[in-house]
Chains A and B, each alone.
Chain A
Amino acid sequence: MRSGCRAGFLILLMSGWAFGGDGVVDLAHRMQGPDGAHLFGTDEVGRDLLARCWLGGARSLTLGLALTALHLAVGVMMALAAQAALPARRVVLGLADLVASVPATLLALLLLAFLRPGYGALVTALAIGGWIAYARLALVQLDALRDDPSLLQARLNGAGPWRRLRIHLLPRMAPVLLAQASAGIGAVALVEGGLSFLGVGLPPDQASWGQMLATARAYFLVSPWPLLWPCLGLFALLLATGPDLQRRSGIPEDG
């Protein structure tokens, strides 16, 4: 039931691509509270808050999903490379330590300052450190499965590396990695929101929660709605991708 609620919220948010919008400037109706014409009210230049929140949420969620998939793929590949040979292991673990020693928001800020602004820079900045958690998790599991009899059996039966990976390794690694990935979607949205808040995330002409929050801070005494809705949206998104999904898949929270 509760996981149904979460999935429902995420699908609803995703439909922002179809129903949301960046809004039309309408200075005659700015800073209005919720009413029949604008269910969530309007912002400081009269744009509809419902449409902006909806599309902004869809953007955050899409970035979260796409980047988590990328992190997962890169992480597993790094772990496979690390397990293949000792020198490769040193390189991968050293690289992970190196990147992880700079906090995620700091690293992203640094890259964004020196890359051409746009989605390419944002994706690079968000992608650079995200793979580490998945690579470390996958490596622990690959090490545990290294001497597994079923893998030896598969090898003796002449199964190639791709087949061993697909049939024997990935299905067993999936639960832990996917549990991490569900929280990862929220984590990407969190960093993206922070970057947009600072004005270096999503482009300023495109609605995003972080940027809406940053703008609304200046006007909250006039109308609190432009501040409250994005706050509520982020809160709900982080709750929906939060750790209860892990418990359902049978993985202890501290695992």
Chain B
Amino acid sequence: MRRAAAALARASATLLGVWLAVQLLPRWLPEDPARIAAGEWATEADVAALRHALALDQSWASALMASARGWLHGDLGLSLRYHRSVTSVIGGGFPVSLRLALLALLISALLAWALAIPRGRMVRALESAAIASPVYVLGPLLLWAVAQHAGWIPVSGTDTWAAWILPTLSLAIPLAGHQARILRPQLETLYDASGPRWWQGLAIPRFRLWLRWTMPAVAGPWLTVLGLQLGALLGGAVLTETIFGLPGLGSLLVGALSTRDLPLVQTTVLLGAALYVLAQVLVEWGQGLLDPRLR
């Protein structure tokens, strides 16, 4: 619990830093964000109006105060691109990203254990191959493979469960490779240390053995990696969502960046960072549950 509390305190400080950075950085960049956002054919008056709307014409201190006041009241500003409140835009994208993240993480955890438990060159090669297959390689390749037999699995959309198979797989496979790389050496030392496998003689079902003995013994570093992956995914899997056309936080962010939608960019990045550190706090807490030495 103390570790989790310390992690929470660190996380709050970090988030304050990220908030300051996303609020202040656009002011100090070489190009005027309002001019870029207004577009090539904007008149001076348009740019001035936009500067006013984004509070870029105020001093940084008063803009910061105004923004803080807005945030405390739950008003995150208006998206320039969608002409709706940032809260409602993000509220539409977050469930998609959340579902993708949880599905991918679940599948990757199952795959990781399946890769890490058996020994031999074959699974090692598979593990290396999984790590060397980034999502923007796997995604198009899977799409190509499925396109050979049209109608087999839907290649885009979010309506049916089958539509999630391809995005989930292309995200989960590289993640599973990274997890297996952490798990394998630990499992090997664990099995080697237990000498003759006395536990094989016990009439305990294999799954129960794994749940009560193997998994808690090696879960620490694995959970850390899992937490990092979850945190990175929750803020939007930018590439996966782009490849499969999923309307999550990742594709929102890409759209917001290309149209320089400053309020949406600021909120998405801050939300991504918040979810990232939240995942780490959860991991600290989970490790305390698993390992009594850390309590």
B-binding residues in A (CB < 8 A): 94, 97-98, 101-103, 105-106, 109-110, 112-116, 186, 190, 193-194, 197-198, 200, 210, 213-214, 216-217, 220-221, 224, 227-228, 230-231, 234-236, 238-239, 242-244, 252-254
Within 8 Å by CB of B253, from A106, A221, A235, A253, lies A106
Within the complex, what minimum Cβ distance (angstroms) separates A6 from chain B? 12
Q: Is the CB of A115 within 8 A of B30?
A: yes
CA A254 to CA B136, docked complex, whole Å: 26
Within the complex, what minimum Cβ distance (angstroms) separates A160 from chain B? 36
> Quick check: which of B69-77, B82-90, B100-108, B269-277 contacts chain A, the rest being far away?
B269-277
B126 at the binding interface (Cβ < 8 Å): no
Within the complex, what minimum Cβ distance (angstroms) separates B226 from chain A? 15
CA A254 to CA B182, docked complex, whole Å: 6
Q: Is the CB of A109 within 8 A of B238?
A: yes
CA A200 to CA B182, docked complex, whole Å: 32
Q: Is the CB of B26 within 8 A of A220?
A: no
How many positions in chain B have a CB within 8 Å of any CB in the partner chain? 53
Residue of A nearest to B17 (CB): A98
Count the A-B residue pairs with Cβ separation under 8 angstroms: how many? 128
Within 8 Å by CB of A224, from B129, B144, B184, lies B144
CA A186 to CA B134, docked complex, whole Å: 11
CA A97 to CA B10, docked complex, whole Å: 9
CA A243 to CA B132, docked complex, whole Å: 10
Residue of A nearest to B10 (CB): A97
Residue of A nearest to B137 (CB): A231
CA A198 to CA B136, docked complex, whole Å: 10
Q: Is the CB of A94 within 8 A of B134?
A: no
Note all chain B residues with C-beta closer than 8 A to A221: 147
Residue of A nearest to B243 (CB): A217
Q: Given A198-B242, A235-B137, verify A98-B132 contact (CB < 8 Å).
A: no
CA A169 to CA B264, docked complex, whole Å: 46
CA A56 to CA B239, docked complex, whole Å: 20
CA A105 to CA B273, docked complex, whole Å: 12
Q: Is the CB of B31 within 8 A of A116?
A: yes
For the residues of A in contact with B, the DSSP-based class is helix
B286 at the binding interface (Cβ < 8 Å): no
Interface CB pairs A-B, < 8 A, 30: A94-B14, A97-B13, A98-B18, A102-B272, A102-B276, A103-B232, A105-B239, A113-B260, A114-B25, A114-B29, A114-B31, A116-B31, A186-B132, A194-B238, A198-B254, A213-B140, A216-B140, A221-B147, A227-B140, A227-B141, A230-B137, A231-B137, A231-B141, A234-B132, A234-B137, A235-B133, A238-B132, A244-B128, A253-B181, A254-B185
B257 at the binding interface (Cβ < 8 Å): yes
B186 at the binding interface (Cβ < 8 Å): yes
Within 8 Å by CB of B134, from A103, A190, A242, lies A190
Note all chain B residues with C-beta closer than 8 A to A227: 140-141, 144
Note all chain A residues with C-beta closer than 8 A to B276: 101-103
CA A230 to CA B133, docked complex, whole Å: 12
Note all chain B residues with C-beta closer than 8 A to A253: 181, 184-185
For window 188-231 of chain B, which residues contact chain A by CB distance below 8 Å? 221, 231
B6 at the binding interface (Cβ < 8 Å): no
